[in-house]
Chain A
Amino acid sequence: MDVLLSVFVEPFQEMLAFPDFFLQVIWEGFVAGVLYSLIALGFVLIYKASGVFNFAQGIMVVFAALVLVSLHEMGVPAWLAVVLSLGVMALLAVGIERMVLRKLVNQHDAILLMATIGLTLILKGVGQLFFGGEPKPMITEQLGLPTGSTDLEVFGGLVILQHIDVAATVIALLMVIALAVFFSKTRIGRALRAVADDHQAALSVGISLNQIWAIVWFASGIVALVTGIMWGARSEVSFALEIIALKALAVLILGGFTSIPGAIVGGLIIGIGEKMFEVYWGALLGSGVEAWFAYVLALIFLLFRPQGLFGERIIERV
């Protein structure tokens, strides 16, 4: 009976008793969710266009942020460092398309996934070799990102909003809008959607698959850089982020592999759900439930809706 009480009643009583704390928890979860969404967004872009499940997205985030920070350490001004890191991501995209994807056309999904796992190892090794394995602080101020925090008075309590979190949310929103416009209004964007729909049909109307793949990997490289900056500004740039980035996989399951809105909604659900579970129910199980909550939620979810929230319905034919 005590157990039932502490699972079903007490957490809610606590939420009602301290609404300001509850809001704070929701906000923290929301911001974490935005960052999960950003990582998931990079996955979705690549999966839609090339059918590659890009396991390396997490390490690309770390890699992009590391390049940026290290360039700045070498004395390059911040804005130039951003431009140069974008250049590095572009080179990386072209390189991956040339050396890996082009050779693996028409291979099975699992083989492509494993190739990106290989890519993860390479990027990790190169990153650690050139930039060192220890965590680095993100150059938040030099990039003109806000720091500090505001205290909001709600329900007679205080909710602390970190400015960088607000900025992250706004930037994520802008990026999603930009991507939506890019996909629906530009020539390349429409070509990307055509490729996502049907590779062969796209080829037959004269769209170059190789070009599109390089572009889409670059696009997710940009997303990775932005994610890296935001995440680095909240904590620091380190390879530990790679494991956290794996949570974006759970987000993908919730949202469906091919849906951009799904990636965002899924990210927010996971972010908020995980924070609330940790704060209100975590003590029952011992702490650290954040490590698996996302995956177990995704697993339970999958049992009821295998194609995700917004994913296309899977139709199988023999």
Chain B
Amino acid sequence: MLYREAGQFKTSYAADQALLPIAQDRIGLFVILISAFLFIPAFTSDFFIGAIMIPFLVFALAAVGLNILTGYAGQLSLGTGAFMGVGAYSCYKLATYFPDTNIIILILCSGVFSAIAGIAFGLPSLRIKGLYLAITTLAAQFFLEWCFLRIEWLYNYNDSGAIEVPQRKLFDIAITGASASPVARYLVILSIVALLTLVAANVLRGRIGRSWMMIRDMDIAAELMGIRPLYAKLSAFAFSSYYCGVAGALMVFMWLGSAEVEAFDINHSFLILFMVIIGGMGSLTGCFMGAAFIWVLPVIIRAVPSMLGLDLIAATTEHITNIVIGVLIIFFLIVEPHGLARLWQIAKEKLRTWPFPYSST
């Protein structure tokens, strides 16, 4: 009843091609953005913003990156963590060499280095595909991880081997470093994530995005129809890695504050892959749903035993989290291989005809 597009007439081609053609969607997105930008900073605690919202946004951005590659271009990748690392380390080096440049510009630039790494490790995708390709991305993961550990130049030859985030300001408000408030960091991340997601949504429905989807659906047929696999595949790798790189830079600069190699290990690659699977392959909304689900679920599992008055050790809850996530992944693959995004779409379809599901619309 509420979600029905009856009476919304499109009178121009521009309206027909709009990103959100249905008025309710536009209102919904507007409400989400308003609450994200205004209500969450105003009414929630620093803990909620720092421990839940910031990681959620970082992982959502990384999931968007992986989803571009895996969900839209059909190239399975297990190297997301390493590409995030390239972004983080290059942002750190940029911040060392250009201390006066605005940190947000540096973060956005650091994705470019990650994109270059993505193109380099995407080259095998021209000859191999599917599972074989997934394994070659493991080469990227382990090789880059080794680089982060062994090339001391990357962490400025310091003894700890960790990258420490310097203090940087925007409009005289500290946004990185130890003294930056969670709210300031949150707002910066939110703006970057919102902007990049908008760009992704437009790229994906444009010519490049459609060529990725053609490659995904059937590469030989796409080639016969005039899509160049070289450009399509490598641009997908570049775009995807750019997003992962920015997410990695954000992760270190805006969330963790300092990071070692372990922050970019293969478990993170898997974590982001899970977000994409559970959220839904080939859906941007799904990335956010998946990231929220995977990140918030452990928080809930940790909270449940104490609410019930049970006293579990932290390690035990971690094992239980592992099991639950594993079961959920299999459950989702069996019941709804297209993830939460598809469930949301089905719900919307139902809403359109509710309360008269059998009347013709």
Q: Do A and B come from one complex?
A: yes
Please report A residues at the B interface, Cβ cutoff 8 Å.
53, 99-100, 103-104, 107, 109-111, 113-115, 117-126, 128-129, 133, 243, 246, 249-250, 252-253, 257, 285-286, 288-289, 291-292, 295-296, 298-299, 302-303, 306, 316, 318
B132 touching A119, Cβ below 8 Å: no
In the complex formed, the residue of B with least CB distance to A108 is B337
Roughly how many angstroms separate A105 CA and B50 CA in the complex, as a whole number?
43
Whether A115 lies near B329 (C-beta < 8 A) is yes
List chain A residues, Cβ under 8 A from B273. 114, 117
Is the C-beta of B76 less than 8 angstroms from some C-beta in chain A?
yes
Is B203 in the interface zone, CB < 8 Å from A? no
Q: Report the nearest A residue to B74, measured CB to CB.
A: A110
A-facing mask of B292-314, CB < 8 A → 1, else 0? 00000000000000000000000
Name B residues whose Cβ lies closer than 8 Å to a Cβ of A: 70, 76, 124, 127-128, 130-132, 134-136, 138-139, 142-143, 145-146, 149-150, 218, 220-221, 224, 266, 270, 273-274, 277, 315-316, 319-323, 325-330, 333-334, 337
Q: Residues of B contacting A123 with CB < 8 Å? A: 326
> Is A243 touching B320 in the complex (CB atoms < 8 A)?
no
How long is the Cα–Cα vector from A250 to B143 in the complex, in angstroms? 13
Complexed CA–CA distance, A164 and B221 (Å): 54
Of the residues A99, A128, A302, contact of B128 by C-beta under 8 Å: A302
**When the two chains form their complex, are residues A109 and B131 in contact, meaning their CB atoms are under 8 A apart?**
yes
Min CB–CB distance B72 → chain A (angstroms): 14
Closest to B277 in A: A114
Within 8 Å by CB of B334, from A103, A117, A286, lies A103
20 A-B pairs besides A107-B337, A125-B326 with CB distance below 8 A are A99-B330, A110-B76, A110-B130, A110-B131, A111-B337, A114-B329, A115-B330, A129-B319, A133-B315, A252-B135, A288-B149, A292-B142, A295-B135, A295-B136, A295-B138, A295-B139, A296-B139, A298-B135, A298-B139, A306-B127
Residues on A with beta carbons closer than 8 Å to the beta carbon of B337: 107, 111
Which residues of chain B have C-beta atoms less than 8 A from A252's C-beta?
A: 135
Query: Known contacts A110-B130, A118-B327, A318-B221: does B270 contact A298 (CB below 8 Å)?
Result: no
Point out the residues of chain B lying under 8 angstroms from A111, CB to CB. 333, 337
Report the minimum CB–CB distance from B78 to chain A (whole Å): 9
- Knowing A121-B322, A243-B266, A318-B221, the reply to whether A253 touches B143 (Cβ < 8 A) is no
A257 and B333 contact, CB distance less than 8 A:
no
* Distance in Å: Cβ of A204 to nearest Cβ of chain B: 26
Q: Which residues of A contact B76 (CB under 8 A)?
A: 110, 113
Interfacial chain B residues near A124, Cβ < 8 Å: 319, 322, 326
CB distance from A309 to the nearest CB of B (A): 13
In the bound assembly, the distance between CA atoms of A275 and B159 in angstroms comes to 29
| B329 contact set on A, CB distance < 8 A | 114-115, 117-118, 121
Neighbouring A residues of B143 by C-beta, 8 Å: 292, 295-296
A44→B105 CA distance, assembly (Å): 48
Whether A318 contacts B127 by the Cβ 8 Å rule is no
Interface of B is mostly: helix
Provide a sorted-by-A list of 30 A–B residue pairs whose CB atoms are within 8 angstroms. A107-B337, A110-B70, A110-B130, A114-B273, A114-B277, A117-B329, A119-B326, A120-B326, A121-B329, A122-B327, A124-B322, A125-B320, A125-B322, A128-B319, A129-B320, A246-B138, A250-B135, A252-B135, A257-B131, A289-B146, A291-B142, A291-B145, A295-B136, A298-B139, A299-B139, A302-B127, A302-B128, A302-B136, A306-B127, A316-B220
A101 to chain B, nearest CB (A): 10
How far, in Å, is A253 (CB) from chain B's closest CB?
Answer: 5
A118 touches B326 (CB 8 A): yes
CB of B146 within 8 A of CB of A303, answer no
Picked from A128, A253, A318, the residue with its CB within 8 Å of the CB of B135 is A253
Which one, A110, A246, A298, contacts B136 given CB within 8 A?
A298
> Quick one: given A114-B333, A285-B150, are A318 and B136 in contact (CB under 8 Å)?
no
Complex CA–CA separation, A99 to B326 (angstroms): 13
Given contacts A113-B134, A299-B124, whether A118 and B333 have CB atoms under 8 Å apart is yes
Q: Which of A99, A129, A249 has a CB less than 8 Å from the CB of B323? A: A129
A111, B331: Cα distance in complex, Å:
12
Distance in angstroms between the alpha carbons of A191 and B220 in the assembled complex: 34
Contact in complex: B319, A125 (CB < 8 Å): yes
Q: How far is the CB of B228 from chain A (nearest CB, A)?
A: 17
- The CA-CA distance from A181 to B311 in the complex, in Å, is 54
Q: Tell me, in angstroms, the Cα distance from A125 to B190 when the chains sit together.
A: 34
Q: Give every chain B residue within 8 A of A306 (Cβ-Cβ).
A: 127-128, 132
Chain A residues with CB under 8 Å of B277's CB are 114
Residue in chain B with minimal CB distance to A112: B333
Evaluate contact between B218 and A121: CB separation under 8 angstroms.
Answer: no
The 8 closest A-B pairs by CB, nearest first: A121-B326, A125-B322, A118-B329, A295-B139, A125-B323, A122-B326, A292-B142, A292-B143
The reply to whether A291 and B327 form a contact with Cβ atoms under 8 Å apart is no
> Are A318 and B224 neighbours in the complex by a CB distance under 8 Å?
yes
Given the contacts A122-B326, A129-B316, A133-B315, A291 and B334 also touching, CB distance less than 8 Å: no
A132 to B277, CA, bound (A): 29
Distance, CA A53 to CA B131, complexed state (A): 8
Residue on B nearest A127 in the bound complex, by CB: B319
Q: Which of A114, A243, A246, A288 contacts B150 (CB 8 A)?
A: A288
Most interface-central of B76, B127, B319 (chain A CB within 10 A): B319
Tell me, rounded to whole Å, the shortest Cβ–Cβ distance linking B361 to chain A. Answer: 32
